[in-house]
């Protein structure tokens, strides 16, 4: 049986080699699917390539390095619509206008990197939460909705949470609630400015260049400032998200909120 499979494997490889020129396959053509998917060795070797070539910027754990704005790569598959092929292209071509360089590696090595990133990537809740989703919905509207959208309703200071149970683990969400400042998403960097008129404005950075900065205030009003006119510009390390300790939300409250987030999928 094993021999048969090997032979079939070999045959199909020969067939592929034979037919590829007919199909117009050339080296810039990228397959939709990772040909190494499901091969644990690919992820392992990809991990070594990663540590040698990518870790200086993205961190040895692929979780990103904030000071150089190199993103957390364990999150890339959580963006709706992101595919193995997109990640392949990004690695090969780099991101123009950023320090993310192109990589002229053989295709197989790039796929190994993709396999590795898949293996460390997060992908949603692992089990069915035993909680009360209705009570969770109530707690959510009381505590979270001012900043977070769910199904088209709610504030926009924080990320939309409608699909969050599909892209983050239970633990990741609990950590976000108990300790929001531990990991602050790239698009939610907190900042505090003191204007010419001595007015303090705190919020998250929406965009910034050498001369100006746009801040979405904690009051959810967007304001732009010329940096030269500011008395103070402080990049903060505390998230604008409220920290919810045990007395604000106990364990049962969290379970109910999680079950609401899951029931929403
Ligand atoms: C010199 C630093 C540097 C190196 C080396 C580097 N990257 Fe990046 N990478 C970045 C930065 C910075 C970004 C974000 C660019 C942007 O979005 O403006 C990025 C973006 C990415 C993205 C897109 C992330 C997203 O949010 O969609 C992927 C995937 C990626 N890098 C993979 C890799 C891999 C794999 C390697 C190694 C082969 C690598 N990078 C090497 C700095 C680096
Ligand atoms: C004052 C505004 C505010 C409130 C209230 C708030 N959040 Fe947040 N939340 C944010 C911001 C801003 C971020 C992004 C920055 C960060 O991660 O700290 C965030 C991030 C998160 C994340 C991480 C999302 C991700 O992509 O990983 C989760 C989960 C979350 N909040 C859940 C909640 C829940 C549940 C509540 C209510 C119990 C809540 N938040 C209340 C502003 C808020």
In tens digits, the chain (265 residues) has pLDDT values of 444 444 444 444 443 344 443 333 344 456 678 999 878 899 999 999 999 999 999 998 899 998 899 999 988 887 656 789 999 999 999 999 999 999 999 999 999 999 999 888 877 888 899 999 999 999 999 999 999 999 999 999 999 999 899 878 888 899 899 999 987 877 899 999 999 999 999 999 999 999 999 999 999 999 999 999 999 999 999 999 999 999 999 999 999 999 999 999 8
Q: Is residue 189 within 8 Å of 234, Cβ to Cβ? A: no
Within 6 A (CB) of ligand 1 lie: 53-54, 56-58, 69-71, 73, 76, 87, 90-91, 95, 98-101, 103, 113
Ligand nearest to the CA of 241: 2
Residue 27 φ then ψ, to 5°:
-65, -20
CA-nearest residue for atom 7, ligand 2, is: 241
169 lines ligand 2 (CB under 6 A): no
The answer to whether the CB of 239 is under 6 A from ligand 2 is yes
Q: Is any atom of ligand 2 closer than 6 Å to the C-beta of 176?
A: yes
Q: Whose CA is nearest to atom 43 of ligand 2?
A: 241
Question: In this structure, are residues 213 and 225 in contact, taking their beta carbons and an 8 Å threshold?
Answer: yes
Start-to-end CA span in the chain (Å) = 43
Residue 254: Cβ within 10 Å count: 21
Burial 121-155 (b: 16+ CB within 10 A, else e): beebbeeebebbbebbbebbeebbeebbbbeeebe
Q: Distance (Å, rounded) from C-alpha 137 to C-alpha 93?
A: 43
Contact (Cβ atoms closer than 8 angstroms) between residue 239 and residue 187: no
Residue 146 alpha carbon, nearest atom of ligand 2 = 5
- Atom in ligand 2 nearest the alpha carbon of residue 143: 37
| C-alpha–C-alpha distance, residues 233 and 210, integer Å | 13
Q: Do 201 and 195 contact (CB within 8 A), yes or no?
A: yes
Query: What pLDDT sits at residue 166?
Result: 82
- Tell which atom from ligand 1 comes closest to the C-alpha of 86: 29
Task: Please give the C-alpha separations between residue 108 and each of 58, 105, 236, in angstroms, as whole numbers.
Answer: 21, 8, 42
Please, are residues 149 and 155 in contact by the beta-carbon 8 Å criterion? Answer: yes
* Biggest distance spanned by C-alpha atoms of the chain: 81
- Residue 76 is predicted with a pLDDT of 86
pLDDT at 19: 40
Residue nearest to atom 23 of ligand 2 (CA): 176
Distance CA 114, CA 37 (A): 9
Contacts of 83 (CB under 8 A, 6+ apart): 32
pLDDT on residue 31: 66
In this structure, how many other beta carbons lie within 10 angstroms of the beta carbon of residue 251? Answer: 9
Alpha-carbon torsion, ordered 156, 158, 163, 166, to 10 deg? 170
Nearest CA to ligand 1 atom 43: 100
Ligand 2 centre distance from Cα of residue 56 (Å): 29
Ligand 2 contact via 240 beta carbon (within 6 Å): yes
Contacts of 61 (CB under 8 A, 6+ apart): 74, 120
Distance between CA 215 and CA 223 in Å, rounded?
A: 5
11 vs 3, 8, 32, CA distance in Å? 12, 5, 22
**Gap from CA of 124 to ligand 2 centroid (Å):** 16
The whole-number pLDDT of residue 169 equals: 81
Q: Establish whether residue 88 lines the binding site of ligand 2, counting it when its CB lies within 6 angstroms of any ligand atom.
A: no
Pocket lining: 213 vs ligand 2, CB cutoff 6 Å: no
Q: Is the CB of 146 inside a 6 Å radius of any atom of ligand 2?
A: yes
């Amino acid at each position: 049986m094993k021999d048969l499979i090997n032979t079939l494997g070999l045959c199909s490889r020969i067939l592929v080699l034979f037919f590829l020129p007919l199909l117009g396959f050339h080296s810039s053509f990228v397959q939709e699917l990772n040909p190494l998917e499901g091969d644990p060795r690919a992820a392992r070797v990809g991990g070594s390539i990663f540590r040698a070539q990518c870790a200086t910027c993205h961190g040895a754990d692929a979780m990103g390095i904030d000071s150089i704005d190199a993103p957390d790569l364990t999150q890339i598959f959580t963006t709706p619509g992101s595919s193995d092929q997109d990640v392949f292209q990004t690695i090969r071509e780099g991101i123009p206008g950023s320090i993310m360089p192109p990589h002229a590696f053989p295709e197989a090595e790039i796929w190994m990197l993709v396999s590795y990133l898949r293996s460390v990537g997060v992908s949603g809740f692992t089990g069915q939460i035993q909680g009360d989703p209705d009570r969770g919905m109530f707690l959510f509207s009381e505590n979270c909705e001012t900043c977070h959208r769910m199904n088209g309703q709610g504030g926009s200071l924080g990320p939309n949470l409608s699909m969050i149970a599909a892209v983050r683990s239970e633990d990741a969400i609990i950590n976000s609630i108990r300790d929001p400042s531990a990991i602050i998403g790239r698009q939610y960097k907190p900042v505090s400015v003191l204007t010419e008129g001595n007015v303090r404005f705190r919020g998250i950075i929406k965009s910034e260049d050498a001369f100006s900065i746009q801040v979405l205030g904690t009051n959810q009003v967007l304001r732009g400032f010329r940096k030269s006119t500011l008395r103070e510009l402080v990049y903060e390390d505390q998230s604008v998200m409220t920290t919810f300790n045990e007395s604000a939300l106990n364990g049962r409250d969290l379970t109910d909120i999680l079950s609401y987030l899951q029931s929403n999928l």
